[in-house]
């Protein structure tokens, strides 16, 4: 383990708590001020994990606010626009989801896509820290969590059981190389003029390119023109990619939801069927050529030949398949700070451009947790120690260069602080 003094650990713990409180907007948390001024789906679930370490009530309320924005069809959107912030693009007016979710009292404007469903996993974590008083809060969340999962099987499932994304933002890995082939099939004609705000906060070299962004907005307009009708999107959307991120996070969430169902005395048969279906889907994402799980362009049926940090979420998903260990260790040997978002030996690797190379604390956490659960304690501790060193040396940034630790993206970042408190900090070892 990276060697730190007790005082240094306490100061980092205090800073992580301060960041969560700094980004708290009374019931929901923004990822970081300025760059991301709204509530993001999986960011919020990670925030709940962080809050739960020192304010369990606030951890529960984060999840409750997130799930309160659920659509009637079960989807939990990737952004909820609780307040108007004209400095953010694309805002609620660009998404135009009123036709899909209505304008009833209390309805929060939102985006028209979802994100990796990690909420059930962190609801279970909150309960495990609060088994007494938390039981009724868990019971109240359960129907919404189940409906969220059911939505994925109704609208994002391939014929073989893997999960697809219909927009790069839906995967949470916005500009990952996984999407390049599907994005190349989109000619972004008719994109309305826009001004990006992200590059005003962050160095453009750390963000998706303009060519990517034109296609992101084209896909938003495509969904808006179809009033976010899921059947039309499934039939007509040129961007449909079977994704390890979505498949593996949903598999883990379903396993955790099954534990929740057992705690609550609910029937588990439907959830067991979901897990079985996802295991079949995961098998379809194994790429013998890369020796890792891979994404697949559904338009062509071809693998994208991308070894990414999502490839190694297989253990987080509960798979006991060690074929990826060889490639994982090769990747870890190339960098200092855990699992980079893209293979550092690939010509497209870029250590500072968002999901095309940087390391992300949340992905390190999920991968290492899964490895430890599978008995791969050496690799798990290697990743955790690297994350401790990374944050201790470079702060709580959004993401980092995996080779030299350069902090990138937004600063004082919620989910980096959250995984420090809920997984990385050496304080947790002392408490065990």
Paired tokens of 306:
């991308």
Alpha-carbon distance of 28 to 211, in angstroms, equals 32
How far apart are alpha carbons 92 and 85 in whole angstroms?
10
Separation between Cα atoms, residue 119 and residue 144, nearest integer Å: 10
- Cα distance between residue 74 and residue 171, in whole Å: 18
CA distance 5 to 7: 5
Q: Is 29 helix (H, G, I), strand (E, B) or coil?
A: strand
Rounded to an integer, what distance in angstroms lies between the CA atom of residue 360 and that of residue 431?
Answer: 25
Residues marked active site are found at 174, 398
What SS3 class is residue 366?
helix
Alpha helices, DSSP H, located in 69-161: 92-95, 98-101, 119-128, 134-155
Q: DSSP 3-state assignment of 4? A: coil
Q: With CA atoms as reference, report the closest residue to 150 among 159, 163, 160.
A: 163
Q: How many CB atoms lie within 10 A of CB 231?
A: 9
**Tokens (6 digits) for 288:** 């013998």
């Amino acid at each position: 383990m990276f060697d730190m003094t007790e005082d240094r650990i306490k100061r980092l713990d205090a800073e992580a708590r301060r960041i969560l409180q700094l980004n708290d907007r009374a019931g929901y948390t923004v990822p970081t001020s300025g760059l991301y001024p709204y509530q993001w789906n999986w960011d919020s679930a990670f925030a709940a994990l962080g809050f739960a370490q020192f304010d369990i009530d606030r951890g529960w309320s984060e999840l409750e606010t997130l799930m309160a924005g659920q659509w009637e069809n079960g989807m939990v959107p990737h952004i909820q626009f609780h307040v108007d912030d004209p400095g953010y693009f694309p805002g609620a007016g660009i998404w135009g989801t009123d036709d899909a979710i209505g304008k009833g009292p209390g309805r929060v404007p939102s985006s028209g896509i979802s994100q990796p469903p990690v909420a059930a996993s962190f609801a279970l974590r909150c309960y495990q820290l609060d088994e007494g008083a938390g039981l009724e809060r868990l019971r109240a969340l359960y129907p919404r969590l189940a409906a969220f999962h059911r939505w994925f099987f109704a609208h994002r499932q391939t014929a073989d059981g893997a999960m697809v994304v219909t927009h790069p933002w839906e995967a949470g890995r916005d500009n990952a190389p996984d999407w390049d082939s599907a994005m190349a099939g989109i000619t972004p004609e008719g994109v309305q003029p826009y001004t990006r705000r992200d590059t005003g906060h962050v160095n453009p070299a750390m963000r998706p390119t303009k060519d990517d962004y034109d296609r992101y907005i084209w896909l938003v307009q495509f969904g808006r023109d179809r009033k976010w009708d899921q059947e039309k999107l499934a039939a007509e959307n040129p961007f449909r990619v079977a994704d390890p991120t979505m498949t593996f996070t949903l598999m883990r969430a379903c396993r955790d939801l099954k534990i929740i169902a057992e705690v609550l005395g609910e029937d588990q048969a439907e959830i067991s069927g979901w897990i079985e279906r996802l295991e079949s889907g995961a098998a379809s994402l194994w790429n013998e050529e890369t020796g890792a799980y891979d994404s697949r362009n559904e338009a062509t049926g071809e693998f994208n030949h991308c070894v990414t940090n999502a490839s190694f979420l297989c253990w987080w998903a509960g798979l006991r398949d060690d074929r990826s260990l060889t490639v994982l260790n090769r990747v870890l040997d190339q960098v200092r700070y855990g699992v980079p978002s893209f293979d550092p030996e690939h010509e497209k690797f870029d250590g500072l451009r968002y999901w095309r190379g940087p390391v992300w604390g949340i992905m390190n956490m999920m991968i290492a947790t899964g490895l430890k659960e599978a008995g791969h304690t050496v690799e798990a501790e290697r990743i955790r120690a690297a994350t401790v060193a990374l944050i201790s040396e470079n702060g709580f940034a959004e993401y980092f260069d995996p080779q030299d630790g350069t902090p990138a993206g937004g600063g004082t970042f919620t989910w980096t602080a959250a995984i420090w408190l809920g997984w990385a900090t050496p304080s947790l070892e002392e408490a065990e």
